[in-house]
Amino acid sequence: MSHKPRHWPDNVLYIQDCPYHRSVPKHARDFVLGTPTIKRSRQGQSGRANVIIRAITSPEHPAFGQYGLFAARKISPDTHIIDYVGEIHCEERPDSDYDISLHRYQDGLSIGVDASSMGNEARFINDFRGIRPKPNASFAERRNGDGELTMSIRSSKDIIKKGEEILVSYGKSWWRARSNDS
Ligand SMILES: C[S@@+](CC[C@H](N)C(=O)[O-])C[C@H]1O[C@@H](n2cnc3c(N)ncnc32)[C@H](O)[C@@H]1O
């Protein structure tokens, strides 16, 4: 197992492969796992070398006191940065702020990746609102070297400079769902 990055919280398990929660039915698991191919080494594909977790120390930043994900080196436009790793599940998890949607079936079944209790560096990516005029990265589905469906983070059309915060859009509905919280 690889070592935890700096600032990693004690109460969150650091993982590099997504485990499957018991709520995931076999057909959904098979869909995510993909057609078996020759297993390739995924060394270096996870993208952890591209990023660094940093404490947000500026009081003007809306996530002041929390952490964010920053570029550890220059990242070219339209480039895979890192896969979002967490627990794959098929439950409603409205209380998790680290749960993203991986796939939705037409019958309503939804596959999510929840990094609230286990995950990798990607769980620290913040939303651009209040920080920059627009995101410099986005979530994108892809099949990794093993053929497994993953949600990844990709840079947008501009270079991300070393040291810049990597920011996505969580989407308006993500914020709307939380604006009603008391
Ligand atoms: C997936 S976590 C991101 C990592 C988080 N900053 C941390 O240190 O664990 C989502 C949480 O980050 C914070 N956050 C992210 N983007 C934000 C923004 N633009 N404005 C305010 N808070 C933000 C909110 O507290 C949100 O619930």
ipTM of model: 0.99
Higher pLDDT, 145 or 122: 122
Average pLDDT, the chain: 92
Mean pLDDT of 106-126: 97
Residue with tokens 């070297």: 145
* CATH class as words, domain 13-36+46-179: mainly beta
Q: Kindly report, residue by residue over 25-78, the tens digit of the pLDDT.
A: 999 999 999 976 655 555 455 678 899 999 999 999 999 999 999 999 999 999
Mapped onto helix, strand or coil, the DSSP state of residue 49 is helix
Burial profile 163-179: b = 16 or more Cβ within 10 angstroms, e = fewer: eebbbbebeeeeeeeee
In this predicted structure, what is the pLDDT of residue 40? 58
Ligand 1 midpoint to CA 69 (Å): 10
Ligand 1 midpoint to CA 120 (Å): 15
Residue 178 pLDDT exceeds 90: no
Query: Is the Cβ atom of 127 under 6 angstroms away from ligand 1?
Result: yes
In this predicted structure, what is the pLDDT of residue 35? 77
DSSP string covering 104-146 = E-TTS-EEEEE-SSEE-GGGGPEESTTTSSS-SEEEEEEE-TT
| Rounded Cα–Cα distance for residues 29 and 23 (Å) | 10
Query: Atom 18 (ligand 1): residue with closest C-alpha?
Result: 127
- The answer to whether residues 123 and 55 touch, using CB atoms and an 8 Å cutoff, is no
Q: Where are the domains of the chain?
A: 13-36+46-179
pTM of the model: 0.94
| Rounded Cα–Cα distance for residues 47 and 129 (Å) | 24
Ligand 1 midpoint to CA 116 (Å): 12
CB 11: neighbour CB atoms within 10 A?
6
Mutational pocket test of ligand 1: of 58, 66, 114, 179, the residue with most ligand atoms within 8 Å of the beta carbon: 66
Query: Is the Cβ atom of 123 under 6 angstroms away from ligand 1?
Result: yes
Query: Is the Cβ atom of 97 under 6 angstroms away from ligand 1?
Result: yes
DSSP 50: G
